[in-house]
Chains A and B, each alone.
Chain A
Amino acid sequence: MGAAIVTDGLTKRYGPKRAVDKLTFEVPQGSIFGFLGPNGAGKTTTFSLLCGFVRPSGGGATVLGEPLSRLRKVHNRMSALPQDARFHPARRIRDALRFLGELGGMDRAQARREADRVLNAVGLQDSGDVKGRALSHGMAKRFGIAQAFMGSPDLVLLDEPTEGLDPRTAHSVRELIASLAKRSTVLVSSHNLSEVEDLCDHAAIIDHGKLIRQGSLAELTESNEVMILTLGPGSPDPTLALSSLPIVSTIEASDSNELLRIILNPVKGEPVEKTVTEVLRAAIEAGALISDVHRGRSLEERFLELT
Chain B
Amino acid sequence: MEGMSGYLKQAWLIAKFDMGTALRTRRALAAVLLYTLVALATGAILVFIDMKLGRQFQTIRAATDLASHAGDKVPSLDEVLSFFLHGDKEMARHLLDLPLVVAGFFWVTLTFLPYLVALVSFDIVNSEVRNRSARFVLLRCPRTVLLAGKMLSHGTLFLAVTVISNVALFAYAWSELPGFPIARAGLLLFEYWLITIVFGFCYLSLAALVSSLIDSGGLSLVVLFIVLVAMGTLSMNNTIGFLSPSYFKLGLWSPRLMDVAQNLLAFAGFGCVFLGLAWVRLHRRDL
Binding site for B on A (CB under 8 A): 48, 51-55, 72-73, 75-76, 78-80, 82, 84-91, 95-96, 99-100, 102-105, 144, 147
> What 18 new A-B contacts, CB under 8 Å, besides A82-B136, A86-B132?
A52-B138, A53-B135, A54-B286, A54-B287, A55-B285, A72-B2, A72-B142, A82-B135, A85-B135, A86-B133, A90-B24, A91-B24, A96-B136, A100-B136, A103-B10, A103-B140, A104-B1, A144-B136
Residue B141 is within 8 A (CB to CB) of chain A in the complex = yes
Residue B137 is within 8 A (CB to CB) of chain A in the complex = yes
CA distance A147 to B133 in the complex (A): 12
Which residues of chain A are within 8 angstroms of B140 by Cβ–Cβ distance?
75-76, 100, 103-105
Let me know if B135 and A51 touch, CB within 8 A: yes
Residue B86 is within 8 A (CB to CB) of chain A in the complex = no
Let me know if B133 and A88 touch, CB within 8 A: yes
Q: How far is the CB of A134 from chain B (nearest CB, A)?
A: 13
CA distance A201 to B6 in the complex (A): 37
Let me know if B10 and A90 touch, CB within 8 A: no
Tier of interface size on chain B? 20 to 34
CA distance A95 to B139 in the complex (A): 17
Let me know if A102 and B13 touch, CB within 8 A: yes
Let me know if A87 and B25 touch, CB within 8 A: no
Which residues of chain A are within 8 angstroms of B20 by Cβ–Cβ distance?
91, 95
Residue B56 is within 8 A (CB to CB) of chain A in the complex = no
Q: How far is the CB of A274 from chain B (nearest CB, A)?
A: 47
Known: A102-B13, A105-B1. A75 touches B132 (CB 8 A): no
Known: A79-B139, A102-B13, A103-B141. A84 touches B21 (CB 8 A): no
Let me know if A99 and B133 touch, CB within 8 A: no
Residue B175 is within 8 A (CB to CB) of chain A in the complex = no
Which residues of chain A are within 8 angstroms of B287 by Cβ–Cβ distance?
53-54
CA distance A265 to B131 in the complex (A): 54
Closest chain B residue, CB of each to CB of A97: B136
Q: How far is the CB of B49 from chain A (nearest CB, A)?
A: 42
Q: How far is the CB of B8 from chain A (nearest CB, A)?
A: 13
Task: Report which of B24, B135, B139, B285 forms a contact with A75, defined as CB distance below 8 A.
Answer: B139
Which residues of chain A are within 8 angstroms of B286 by Cβ–Cβ distance?
48, 53-55
Q: What are 17 inter-chain pairs, A to B, with CB distance below 8 A?
A: A54-B287, A76-B1, A79-B139, A82-B136, A84-B132, A86-B133, A87-B133, A91-B20, A91-B21, A96-B136, A100-B136, A103-B1, A103-B13, A103-B137, A104-B140, A105-B140, A147-B136
Residue B52 is within 8 A (CB to CB) of chain A in the complex = no
Enumerate the 3 nearest inter-chain pairs by beta-carbon distance, A residue then B residue, closest first.
Answer: A85-B132, A54-B286, A82-B135
Which residues of chain B are within 8 angstroms of A53 by Cβ–Cβ distance?
135, 138, 286-287
CA distance A55 to B14 in the complex (A): 23
